[in-house]
Every structure is written in structure tokens, then in C-alpha cells.
Amino acid sequence: MDSNVQLVKNVLKYTFGLVPIVAGLDKFANILTNWSQYISDGFAEILPFEPSTFMMIVGIIEILAGILVLTHTKVGAYIVSAWLTVIALSLLFSWSYIDVAVRDLVMAISAFCLARLYEKNATKANN
């Protein structure tokens, strides 16, 4: 049983470490998609700069979050979970890209589970 838990922890750790890094880097290249399209018109109007600049800032945050998951998994996973929840909620409130919002909520739950696996491990080690 412990080897299965370790496998799940490793798969989730590298998934939530590498995927945010790749997505963050792509905010500069727009190879996977045009990331600015996910910004609602209302939000884009209040930005003090271009939506593409905002997405580059988002990309930097995502890269840092991915690195944090790889280096400090529990804290990083909680941050990624919260980040994905915020993204999903912003999409739901703008009622656009609902499919992406649902996917991001599922990923947020998975990242939260990863953090809890590390939380449980830390608690178990202290007992």
C-alpha cells in the first residue's frame, strides 16, 4: 500500500510542478493557445496595461508556483490549488470557458489532495 501512495504522490508532484511551469512559459510564447483570450473584456478594460502583459505576469507566478511544488511540495500544492480555484472562479463569474473552469476546479481538488498527502506524511512522521 505504501508504494502505491508514494507513486501517487510522485505523479501528482511532478504533474503540478511541471504543468504550471510549462503553462507559465507558454504565456510568453502563446504556442498552446492565445492566453489573453481568457481575460474577460470587463477585466481587460480595467488593466493598466495590455492583456498580454498581464498574462506574462501570470506566467511568472505559475512558473514560481511549479518550482515551489517541486521544492516544497506541501506549500506549493496548496498555492497551486488556490491559484486554480481563483482562475476557475473568474471564468465562472464571467460565464466564459466553463469547460476550462470545471477542469481547473478538478485540478485544484487534485492539488489539494497532494498537499494533504504531504500533510498526512508530516503528521505521521511526528507521531
The tens digit of pLDDT for each residue in 18-67 reads 999 999 999 999 999 999 998 888 888 999 999 999 999 999 999 999 99
* Predicted local distance difference test score (pLDDT) of residue 123: 55
Contact 19, 69 (CB under 8 A): no
pLDDT at 122: 58
| pLDDT at residue 120 tops 60 | yes
| pLDDT value at residue 2 | 86
In the predicted model, is pLDDT for residue 4 greater than 50? yes
Distance between CA 64 and CA 58 in Å, rounded? 10
Whether the pLDDT of residue 127 is over 60: the answer is no
C-alpha to C-alpha distances, 13 to 35, 55, 73, 75, 103, nearest whole angstrom: 24, 24, 7, 12, 18
